[in-house]
């Protein structure tokens, strides 16, 4: 096992000595810069003792969620716990808990809203929230994650979005946009929608 360490060299948690399973290019048709992205991500996965903070940006259908899912499987196969959240379903989980009769409702809500403090987090479809309250919850999660990253207590963070930086700054504020720029590596997906390639038209 290897250790991910803080600035003073103290071990934070253990990760597998062997490389995480890499992404197979054969799962994709060559499209835009997808092969270049896969090469970069595989290089990151091969460095298991190095924290990774990736922001996947680009239009719909370019493989952001699919690659995130492959990374999740790679991590889970190494027996590490992954917390996966979809922005569009986070609100539904929150509302369901608010309206529940669980004896530990408060604890469950706190656990849901504290996912930004997890060592390994994938936040999919950031930017699909429809209400201001939804956006506020996601912003709080991202601020928690930012603080984790700044204090070297985060191992892997992946955020995927269809928004560009101008849209992020307009919807969530410049503080969120600036923090993305500060601590994340930006992965800009380009090309044509993979979903549209599969469209069959019968005339």
The tens digit of pLDDT for each residue in 122-145 reads 999 999 888 888 888 888 889 999
CATH 3.40.50.1000 matches 50-191:
no
**H or E segment at 33?**
none
What's the whole-model pTM score? 0.85
Of 46-55, 101-110, 152-161, 193-202, the least confident:
193-202
| Residue 51 neighbours by CB distance under 10 Å | 20
Q: Where are the domains of the chain?
A: 50-191
Q: d(Cα 178, Cα 176) in Å, to the nearest integer?
A: 6
Contact at 8 Å (CB) between 54 and 189?
Answer: no
Closest to 40 in 3D by CA, of 29, 26, 56: 56
Q: What is the pLDDT of residues 151-186, one digit of tens each?
A: 877 889 999 999 999 999 999 999 999 999 999 999
């Amino acid at each position: 096992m290897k250790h991910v360490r803080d600035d003073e060299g103290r071990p934070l948690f253990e990760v597998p000595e062997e490389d995480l399973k890499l992404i197979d290019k054969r799962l994709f048709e060559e499209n835009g810069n997808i092969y270049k992205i896969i090469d970069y991500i595989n290089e990151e996965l091969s460095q298991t003792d190095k924290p990774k903070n990736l922001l996947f940006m680009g239009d719909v259908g370019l493989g952001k969620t699919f690659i995130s899912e492959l990374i999740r499987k790679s991590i889970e196969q190494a027996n590490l716990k992954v917390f996966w959240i979809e922005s569009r379903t986070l609100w539904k989980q929150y509302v369901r808990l608010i309206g529940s009769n669980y004896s530990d409702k408060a604890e469950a809500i706190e656990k849901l809203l504290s996912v930004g403090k997890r060592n390994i987090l994938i936040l999919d479809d950031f930017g699909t929230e429809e209400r201001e309250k939804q956006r506020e919850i996601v912003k709080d999660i991202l601020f928690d994650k930012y603080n984790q990253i700044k204090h070297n207590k985060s191992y892997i963070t992946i955020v995927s979005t269809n928004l560009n930086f101008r849209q992020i700054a307009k919807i969530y504020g410049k503080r969120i946009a600036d923090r993305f720029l500060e601590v994340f590596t930006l992965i800009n997906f380009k090309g044509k929608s993979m979903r549209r390639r599969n469209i069959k038209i019968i005339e």
